[in-house]
Chain A
Amino acid sequence: KAGVTQTPRYLIKTRGQQVTLSCSPISGHRSVSWYQQTPGQGLQFLFEYFSETQRNKGNFPGRFSGRQFSNSRSEMNVSTLELGDSALYLCASSLTALRAANYGYTFGSGTRLTVV
């Protein structure tokens, strides 16, 4: 059974550019969440999607956005990149909405974004 797949694995962008990251959840999983991981702030929640609807959003500026498609694949977009956006972006999927998931999430290996 394939795990959560995130593409690309590594990305280097210039300040001011925008970037789109992709996440394919485990087959059958309908909930996808995104987290930002940095050495200073740790793992911070970005947003959660379930059945193409954003159910929850973390405390990030509007430059961070996401969406989910009918096949449950999800993308997140960061516009007007800043140096501080350099981080590991993790996607996680679960069968249903978070509260019903007995094992929390299954995480992907992440996309390492470096902004220069």
Chain B
Amino acid sequence: GESVGLHLPTLSVQEGDNSIINCAYSNSASDYFIWYKQESGKGPQFIIDIRSNMDKRQGQRVTVLLNKTVKHLSLQIAATQPGDSAVYFCAEYPRKDQAGTALIFGKGTTLSVSS
């Protein structure tokens, strides 16, 4: 499957491939992370989340990996389908005692799936 070591704004894959989207987060004190999918004309939609006390979490066809040492988050999509084409964002929640409680969004990655 296709993967990127660093964040890239676009990722093109073939249907059926596995996709890996990477994200570097900013705050080492953040303790909760979310991946969102945004389709054209819609708001971001929740995909999967992970707390900082975990390294990996699996959902349906998706897996999120968290590496706190290097402040890196990745989203793996198995058997990518055309309907997975969208912009994907990672987001982090600062810890409660940190300034601000808003979600901080990373730069999005546009995933394009061709048949």
Contacts and interface: CB of A to CB of B under 8 A. Distances in A.
Interface stretch (A62-70, A74-82, A99-107): A99-107
Interface in B97-115: 100-108
Interface in B62-108: 89, 91, 93, 96, 100-108
Contact residue range for chain B? 20 to 34
Interface in A34-80: 35, 42-45, 48, 55-56, 58
B38 to A, nearest CB: 8
B34 interface: yes
Given A42-B107, A109-B41, A103 B101 contact: no
B102 A56 contact: yes
A110 interface: yes
B91 A104 contact: yes
Contact of B96 (A99, A105, A108): A99
Contact of A98 (B36, B93, B107): B93
A103 B101 CA distance: 15
Contacts of A55: 101
B105 A42 contact: yes
Contacts, number: 62
Given A92-B43, A110-B43, A43 B89 contact: yes
20 contacts: A33-B103, A42-B105, A43-B103, A43-B105, A45-B104, A55-B101, A56-B102, A90-B44, A98-B93, A98-B102, A98-B103, A102-B49, A103-B46, A103-B49, A104-B34, A104-B46, A104-B91, A104-B103, A105-B103, A107-B43
Give 4 nearest A-B pairs by CB, closest first: A107-B43, A45-B102, A43-B105, A104-B34
Interface of B: 34, 36, 41-46, 49, 89, 91, 93, 96, 100-108
Given A42-B105, A90-B44, A97-B101, 16 more contacts: A33-B103, A35-B105, A42-B106, A43-B89, A43-B103, A45-B103, A45-B104, A92-B43, A98-B101, A98-B103, A103-B49, A104-B34, A104-B49, A104-B91, A104-B93, A109-B41
